[in-house]
Amino acid sequence: MTKNPESTKLAKFGGTPVFKQEILKRHNPIGNQSISNALSVLNSGILSEFVGEWCDEFYGGPWIRTLEAQSAERFQTKHAVAVNSWTSGLVVAVGAIGIEPGDEVITTPYTMSATATAILHWNALPVFVDIDPKTFNLDPTKIEASITDRTRAIIVVDIYGQPADMDEIMTIARKHNLKVITDSAQSPGATYKGKFAGTLSDIGGYSFNFHKHIHSGEGGICFTDDPDLALNMQLIRNHAEAVVRSKGHKDFINMLGHNFRMGELEAAILTPQLDSLAAIVNRRNALANQLNLNLSRNKCLELPFVAPDRTHAFYTYAMKIPQEKETGVTRAELGDALRKEGVPIAEGYQNIHLLPLYQKKIAYGSNGFPWKGGSNFREIDYSRGICPVAEEMHENRVIALGLCTYDFTDENIEQIGLAFEKVWNYYYR
C-alpha cells in the first residue's frame, strides 16, 4: 500500500479528527402538530379503536382512517392500509396475494432480512436474484432465469431510496403471470417516471420506523389499487380467522389473522408528517448534491448513480470504493479511518442468502421446514457465489452515509468532504 508522507496525520493514528460525530443532531421529523395530536389521543384515553370482529371498528379509529385516506390521496393510490411495522406490512402483502406453501418468490439478497422472512412466514421459499451494480436494486436482466413453474411473485426492493427498474420488472411479471410487491421502506417520496415509489406494483409501501424520513417510532403502510387485495390485507392485519364468517368473506386462503394494527397514537403522530415529507426528501437531495461536489475530487470513489427517469429519496448515500486487489486498502481499514475523523460511515448491506437461516435451511422447528417436509420438492441454492454482484458490494465495495440518521447542516457536509479528502490523500494518492 502506498501512503503519502505529506498527508495530514489521520485521527486513527493519533491525529486531530476533522470533527466530532457528537456534534451531529439526530433527525427528528416530529413537529408541534404531531405533539399536539399525540397529547389529544393520550388525553382521550383511547389509544386504539380496532376491534377484532366484523363491525365498524374493524377498520380502526379516526386517526387510522385519516392517515390511510390522506396517504392514499397524497401518493395517488386507491387504497392504503396502515400496519404496526413495515415487517408486518410485508407479511400481510405476501399473504394477501395468495401465496401458498412451497411457492417460490423471487427477491434480492441485498436488503433488510424482513423482505425475505415475510416469504417464509407463509411457508413459501425465497429465491435470490443478483443486483444491478449501479443502482444496487434487483437486476431485471437476471430474473427470468430464476423463474420456475413454482414461482408466484417477485418482491422488489427500492434500496437506499431509489426505485427499481419497474417497467422491465412488471413486464416480466405480467408475461409469467406473477404478482409483484415493492418494498419501498427506504423510498417514500421518490418517483419513477412521475409515479411514487411503492405504488407501481400490485402492493407496495413504506416504513415509518424511527430512522426513516418520517416516523412514529414503528409503523408502516401498504398501498394497492386492487380492492380485493386491500381487503385481504385488512383482514390479515386484524384477526382474519375471527372475522371472515360474519363478514361473509368467501375466500379463506391465508385468512390466518394477526394483530398487526397500528395504534391511534402512532397514526396521530404520523399524519401531519405527510405534509413534511416532500421538504425532507428535497433536503436529502440537496445534501446529496453537496456531497457529490465535495467528494468528486477523490480518486476512484464512485458516487451514487441516479437513473434519469426517476428521483432518489436518499435514505442512504451509498458509494463504491476501489477494489482492494487494486489498491491494497481494505474497506474495514478505510471505514475505520473515516469514522475516526467523525464521519458516521457504514459498510453496505448484508447478503440475506448467506445468513445462517438460509445456509442451514432451518426456519420452523429442527427438520428444515419449509424447505423439507412440505410442498416443495426443488432444491434451492443459497450458496456463496449465486449473487456475485451483491456479495462483492456487501463484502468489499460499498460504504454508506445514512442521510436520514442525522439532520446534517451544510457545515457538516463540508466537514465530511474534508474528512474524505484527508483519508483519500493518505490511502489513494
Radius of gyration of the chain (CA): 23
3-state secondary structure of 36: helix
Q: What pLDDT, on the 0 to 100 scale, is given for residue 347?
A: 84
CATH class of the 32-275 domain in this structure: alpha beta
Distance CA 390, CA 395 (A): 8
Q: What pLDDT, on the 0 to 100 scale, is given for residue 6?
A: 42
Distance CA 421, CA 74 (A): 41
Distance CA 344, CA 336 (A): 10
Question: Residue 202 in contact with residue 179, Cβ under 8 Å?
Answer: yes
Distance CA 37, CA 147 (A): 48
3-state secondary structure of 318: strand
Q: What pLDDT, on the 0 to 100 scale, is given for residue 196?
A: 98
For the domain covering 11-29+277-349+389-427, report its CATH number. 3.90.1150.10
Question: Residue 108 in contact with residue 349, Cβ under 8 Å?
Answer: no
Short-list 217, 258, 219, CA closest to 236: 258
Q: What pLDDT, on the 0 to 100 scale, is given for residue 5?
A: 44
3-state secondary structure of 399: strand
Residue 197 DSSP label: T
Got the DSSP string for 58-125? GG--HHHHHHHHHHHHHTT-SEEEEES-HHHHHHHHHHHTT--TT-EEEE-SSS-THHHHHHHHTT-E
Q: What pLDDT, on the 0 to 100 scale, is given for residue 137?
A: 98
Q: What pLDDT, on the 0 to 100 scale, is given for residue 375?
A: 66
Short-list 217, 145, 194, 165, CA closest to 381: 145
Ranges of the chain whose pLDDT falls below 70 = 1-7, 374-377
Domain ranges within the chain, ordered by starting residue: 11-29+277-349+389-427, 32-275
Helix (H) or strand (E) run with residue 320 in it: strand 316-320
Question: Residue 319 in contact with residue 337, Cβ under 8 Å?
Answer: no
- Condensed to tens digits (0 to 9), the pLDDT of residues 369-422 reads 999 876 666 889 999 999 999 999 999 999 999 999 999 999 999 999 999 999
Q: What pLDDT, on the 0 to 100 scale, is given for residue 373?
A: 77
Distance CA 238, CA 54 (A): 10
The total of other beta-carbon atoms located within 10 Å of residue 396's CB is 18
Q: What pLDDT, on the 0 to 100 scale, is given for residue 374?
A: 67
Question: Residue 342 in contact with residue 17, Cβ under 8 Å?
Answer: yes
Distance CA 108, CA 389 (A): 11
- Condensed to tens digits (0 to 9), the pLDDT of residues 408-421 reads 999 999 999 999 99
